[in-house]
Amino acid sequence: MRATQLATEVSGNNVTNARTPGFVKQKLDLQAKRFEIGRGLVGGVEAGKLISGRQEFLETAVQEQAHRYGRFAQQTSDLERLEPIFDVTSNAGLGGSIDRLFQSFSALRINPNDTPSREAVLERARNLAQNFRSTSASLASAKLDGQNQLRSTTEAINQISRQIQKYNLEVRTDIRKLEDPGLEAQAFNQLEQLSELVDFDLIRAPDGSFNVNVGGQTPLTIGNSFFPISVDVSDTTAAIRNSQGVDITNQIQQGRLRAERDQQNGFLPNLVTDLNRLAETVATWVNTVLAGGLDRDGNR
């Protein structure tokens, strides 16, 4: 009866925690007792160990999908923040300013000596220059925001890693903690959160502790030890460094950290280069048009 009561309590715990993040159902192993009336052994069952329904293969598969989801979700968020800077549907944007300048040149071509047409060209040229400056400033602001986001993500990774280190300390100090479903659920929930931020390899040590390696190479937690990572934006490109200051940027392949790194080191610099090239092209075109024109006195 006591064994059956314990099994009932385990089932009740499964129902209660069905929606708890990281929790998986458990089963109580009921072991048969010997039945020999002559020797006073009356049989029955006794409670054995708790058996977890967690499957490491499925956990790894979920984490790998979370790596990819984190990266593409962050890319989507970054692009949504940049989209208003290059709003092609608005006449107030850079594209609209270029169109209006070209239109003013077309009107001036019809009547080159018309003073309002000349003033319109100058005014729209000033507006276009201002739009180039404001777009450049918006990209610079986006770069600063991205650097802050990198720092925030890195700190979140370190905070979760500290919690995993805490779990390792508990189970290595008291092996009975390995049978604590609540503690295990917290640990796997933290690992799931971490997997969205950065890709890692996970190794379960014989003592039940977790060894977590970023990109499969750089340790975050090993047993009782924790190795924080950091962001270095002192150079033109952002770098992710390990606890010894070594650049591990290229080890990171998935997760939100990868998307944020790509924005800082690739996407935003490319946008700035393209913007500068566009400004140079427009300026060259305008200078070419003006060089081929005549002033009011008929001189070039």
* pLDDT given for residue 13 in this prediction: 64
Per-run averaged pLDDT (10 residues), the chain, 300 residues: 71 66 65 69 68 69 90 94 81 84 85 83 91 93 94 96 94 84 85 94 91 93 94 92 94 95 94 94 85 63
Q: What pLDDT is recorded for position 41?
A: 64
pLDDT computed for residue 38 by the predictor: 67
Domain boundaries, the chain: 2-52, 56-291
Secondary structure string (H, E, C) spanning the chain: CHHHHHHHHHHHHHHHCCCCCCCCCEEEEEEECCEEHHHCEECCEEEEEEEECCCHHHHHHHHHHHHHHHHHHHHHHHHHHHHHHHCCCCCCCHHHHHHHHHHHHHHHHHCCCCHHHHHHHHHHHHHHHHHHHHHHHHHHHHHHHHHHHHHHHHHHHHHHHHHHHHHHHHHHHCHHHHHCHHHHHHHHHHHHHHHHHCCEEEEECCCCCEEEEECCCEEEEECCEECCCEEECCCCCCEEECCCCCECHHHCCCHHHHHHHHHHHHHHHHHHHHHHHHHHHHHHHHHHHHHCCCCCCCCC
pLDDT score, position 106? 86
Q: What is the pLDDT of residue 267?
A: 92
Q: What is the pLDDT of residue 258?
A: 95
pLDDT of the residue at 299: 60
**pTM of the model as a whole:** 0.80
